[in-house]
Structure formats: C-alpha cells, structure tokens
Amino acid sequence: MFNARLVLRVRLGMQLVQVTTTHTHPSQYAKPYRIFNEGAKRFKSKKQKDNGNLNDTNVDKTSEPKIIEEPILKDPPITDVATSKNPPISTTTKKKTSGSYSKYILMIALLGGVCYGGAVYHSIHDEKFREKFTKDVPGANQVVEYVDGLYKQGTFHHLKQQASELSAKTIDFELDKKISPLLTQEIHTFTSEEPIINELYQTINQLASIVKETDASSDIILKAKEEVKRLNDRINSSRTEIYSLIDAALKEQEETFNTLLETKKRSLSEKLDNSEKEKQNLKDEFEKSKQLLLKQHKDLTDELSRQAQKHAEELRNTLIREGVRMKRQWIREIKSRVEQERDGRLANLEELNLRLKQLQNLSVQNVDDLDDRIKDLRLWRALYALKNAVNQPHRIPFANEVATLKKEASTDELVTVVLSTIDDSVSSTGIESVSNLVARFAKVREAVRSASLVPENGGLLPHALSRVLYRFMFRKHGMMEGDDVEAVLARVEHHLKEHDLDKATRELNQLKGWPKTITSDWMRAARDHLEVKQAIQVCFLGAVF
C-alpha cells in the first residue's frame, strides 16, 4: 500500500514536470495541479475501501502499517516554499462553504486558462484562426508570437525530451530502498524565476515529507530535485539565448532602418536639388522665350515696313508698266488705223495724236496720285502710332513716333510747324493721361485747400493756422459761382468729371498766391497734355486737307 502510494505520487510529479515543459503559457500551468488532485482523490477512496475490507474480515488494526492521510493538493500555494506545509483538512461548515466558492472560481479560471492555452497552441498551426484570435483577443498577438518563437527554436522539444528522460529514470528506481539519512535533515529552500518551477519544487518537498513517514527510498526524491534544478537551469539558459537572439534581431532591424533612412534622405536631397535645377532651367527658358518673342516682334515690325515699301514699289511699277502697255496699244491701234485709212483717210490723225498725249498725261497723273496716296498712307500710320502712344493709360515716351511723323511729313509745312511746337523733353518722358490727372488732382485739391487761407507773403504761422482751419471749411461741389478757392476747385472737379481738361485748366489758372504755386506742377502736366493733343488734331486736319 505504501509503495503504491509513493509510486502514484512520483508519477503525478513526473506528469507535472512533463506538462510544465510542454505548456509555456501562464494560463496552462493549472492543468498539472488538477491531474494531481484527481489522483489524490482516487488514492484516498481506494484507501478507505481497503480499510473497510479489513474491518469486515476482523483483521487486527495494530498489525497493519499506519497510513498517513494526505490532503488533496489544491491550487498552487502563494506562500514561500520553505514555510509551506500540508494544510489540515477542515471539518467546519463555514470553511467548506468558503472552499467550495474558491474552488468554483478557481475551476473557472483554470478552464479559461486551458482554453486560452489551447487557442494559443492552435494559432501556431492555423493561420486563419491565428489572424482572428490575435485580432479579437487583447494581448494575444504578443503571446502567440512569443510561443511561436520558442516553438521554432526547438525549446519545447528539448524541455519535453529532458522531462521524459527524468520521468523514465524516476520510475525505474526501486521503491523498496530504505530512507536515506538525508531525509531527516531540514528541506532547503529553492527559488526560481519561473513560478511553475517553484510550485514543482514545493510538490517534491511534500513528496519528501510523505517518504519520511514511510519506508520507501529517498533516492528518487533527491534525483527529482536534481532534475528540477537542471530543468530550471535549462529554462534560464533558454531565456538568456532568447533574449540574446531578440537583441541581435533588434540591432539588425535598427541597422536596416538606419540604412533605409539614409537612403531616403539622400533620395529626397537629390530630388530637392533636381527641383531647384529644374526651377532654374525653367527660369532660363522663360528668359530665352521672352527675348525670342521680343526679337520676333521687332523682326515682324521691320518685315511689315519692308512689305509696305515693297508693295508701294510694286504698285508704282505696275502703273508704269500699265501706262507703257496702253501707250504701245494705242500706237499699234494708230498704226493699224493709219494702215486702214491710208490713201485719203488721215483726217483724224491729229485727233488721235491729241488723244495719245492726253493718255500720256493721264498716266503720269495717275503715277503722281499713287505717290501721294502712299505718302498719305505713311503719314496716317505715323499719326495713329503717335495718337496710340499718347492715349496710353500710363506715361510712355513717344519721341520715336514724333521723329517718324516728321520724316513722313517733311513736305507738309503745316505738320512740320505743329510738330516743332512739341518740346523734346515732353516727347522723351511722355504725358500724363486724363485718368492720372484726375487722380492726381484729388491730392492737389487737399493741398490747395490746406493753403487757401494763407496770404501771398504769409509766414510759418499763417500756414499752420490754415492747415488747422481748412478742416472746418465746407467742401463745395458742382458749378459753384464765385472766385474763392473752394468754388474754383469745385468747378475744376466738375469739368474733370465731364472729361473737359481744357476748361478745368482754365478754371484752375484763376487761382492766385500759394494755391496757384501748389497747382503749378499739375497745370504744367495738364498743359503738356493739351498741347500734344491739339498738335495731333492739327496734324490730322493737315493730313485731311
């Protein structure tokens, strides 16, 4: 009976070692304890049955060896290994109720742990289940990857093989040896980083306590402790190897990412340099295109001038050829008629000669008229070019247009005299447009109003008083009567709104003193504008008549 009890304890301990080496997830550690508890229950029931049989046969109880009743192993204890003892079996109702609740909760936790461990094991062999499991269960991805890494490295295989060898050696030991004197010594404390190893070592200590109460041999217990220590060393070495492999993989990944980062930096730098070069190339191409367009515009203008001259020459040559052709035709006709009317039909010969002279005069006159039309065409073109330059919304010089017009109108005294009245400085700088003069007058008007109260020989104090008091004066608008400054400015503003610059200039010319001095620049610009416009109008009239 004692040997069977000891064998059962040893086998359950070896199963605990084997299950520990094949299940690495913390949720699966509870399975060996459940197996151990079930074996303890079966052993207790068998012992009670044997005791009953002995009572029925009236066997003397003193002759049978004393059976030490062992408690059923509960969940892994939390206390230290050195201080843990076999818990006494409680018979009170209150403790049984509390234990049943604790056992119920523990069984649910163990069942969840077993299911979780089975799901992790199944995830290693099924990719579809692994994807769904790691997606729905929080933290499952890290656990599956860790277990998969240990599985690929062969850690489970080596630990399982070592546990199998330890189990085989333990079963082969003889159970009839005497208890070693070492069992009488105090059980030493063993501490490992793995909780399951500590629990296994505590179980072995409990087995040692049982063996001390029996006559069984203690060699199997000592060897079991040695195997547990070697198993703990193996787990620690495997953990160190795994950590070193993880560090090496992390360093390799860091080097790879650094290489990719440097490559990306160089690529972005090259792209940035290329974009700058493309930008500079586009800028250079734009400048080249601009210069090319300007050159083409100039070439086109020159070509149009040459085409106009060529066309005029062709027209003149055409008229000359037409006159010669008509002259020859008339001569041939005259000769033909002379031949026909010879012998007494020459009465109309003088008339024919007269008509021929008239035709010659007509041809010459046509040629002169054509020359005049060509000159008029050039004159009109120069006049329109000057007019367009003057009517631009901003100031541009028109000296080239004036020079061209003088060249084309060299035979026209009126146009030449009118163009000579335009100052060279005005043609070189251009004139202000009406819109610019109107905008400029708005500023000039404020300056005139601020000085309207200053006498002609006023000093600094009148100027200061005028700049302060003019703000209290009412501004006038429209065709106001009177010679005061506000009335004159109102009429000038009205004429400018009507685009009558001539009347506005005449009205503004009525000012005296400081207001007239302030408006002198504006008056000069307006006079230049009017003089140029009047000169162009006179030139147009001269070209028409």
3-state SS, 141-190, equals HHHHHHHHHHHHHCHHHHHHHHHHHHHHHHHHCCCCCCCCHHHHCCCCCC
Enter the pTM of the model: 0.31
In this prediction, residue 389 carries a pLDDT of 78
pLDDT reading at 141 higher than 70 = yes
Phi, psi for 395 (deg, rounded to 5): -75, 125
Q: What is the pLDDT of residues 225-234, one digit of tens each?
A: 777 777 777 7
Write the Ramachandran bin of 137: left for phi over 0, alpha for psi from -120 to 50, otherwise beta.
beta
Confidence of residue 355 (pLDDT cuts 50, 70, 90): confident
d(CA 409, CA 542): 10
pLDDT reading at 183 higher than 70 = no
In this prediction, residue 75 carries a pLDDT of 39
Check residues 302 and 451 and name the one with the higher pLDDT: 302
Q: What is the pLDDT of residues 477-505, one digit of tens each?
A: 667 676 766 777 778 888 888 877 888 88
| Mean pLDDT along residues 366-379 | 79
In this prediction, residue 30 carries a pLDDT of 42
d(CA 195, CA 455): 112
Phi, psi for 452 (deg, rounded to 5): -70, -25
Confidence of residue 366 (pLDDT cuts 50, 70, 90): confident
d(CA 441, CA 521): 11
**Where does residue 281 rank: exposed (0-12), middle (13-18), buried (19+ CB within 10 A)?**
exposed
Confidence of residue 541 (pLDDT cuts 50, 70, 90): confident
| Mean pLDDT along residues 19-37 | 43
At how many degrees (to 10) do helices 195-212 and 219-340 cross? 160
Q: What is the pLDDT of residues 430-470, one digit of tens each?
A: 788 788 888 887 777 777 776 665 556 655 555 555 555 55
Range of lowest pLDDT (273-277, 447-451, 452-456, 515-519): 452-456
Q: What is the pLDDT of residues 114-129, one digit of tens each?
A: 777 777 777 777 777 7
In this prediction, residue 68 carries a pLDDT of 35
In this prediction, residue 65 carries a pLDDT of 35
**Where does residue 385 rank: exposed (0-12), middle (13-18), buried (19+ CB within 10 A)?**
middle
Q: What 3-state class would DSSP assign to 201?
A: helix
DSSP state of 67: P
d(CA 471, CA 493): 19
| Mean pLDDT along residues 279-291 | 88
d(CA 494, CA 488): 10
Q: What are the contacts of 535-541 at 24+ separation with CB within 8 A?
A: 535/418, 535/419, 535/421, 535/422, 536/383, 536/386, 536/387, 536/390, 538/414, 538/415, 538/418, 539/383, 539/386, 539/405, 539/409, 539/415, 539/418, 539/419, 540/383
pLDDT reading at 67 higher than 60 = no
pLDDT reading at 50 higher than 70 = no
d(CA 12, CA 18): 10
Mean pLDDT of the chain: 69
Q: Give the end-to-end CA distance of the chain in Å, rounded to a whole number.
A: 153
Check residues 220 and 528 and name the one with the higher pLDDT: 528
In this prediction, residue 529 carries a pLDDT of 82
Annotated domain spans of the chain: 2-232, 268-389, 426-544
In this prediction, residue 70 carries a pLDDT of 37
Residue reference for tokens 């408006």? 519
d(CA 330, CA 354): 12
pLDDT reading at 15 higher than 80 = no
CB 508 within 8 A of CB 345: no
- What is the amino acid identity at position 67? I
Confidence of residue 5 (pLDDT cuts 50, 70, 90): very low
In this prediction, residue 471 carries a pLDDT of 60
**Which residues have CB under 8 Å from 360's CB, separation 6+?**
323, 327
In the structure encoding, which two tokens stand for residue 544, read together?
């028409």
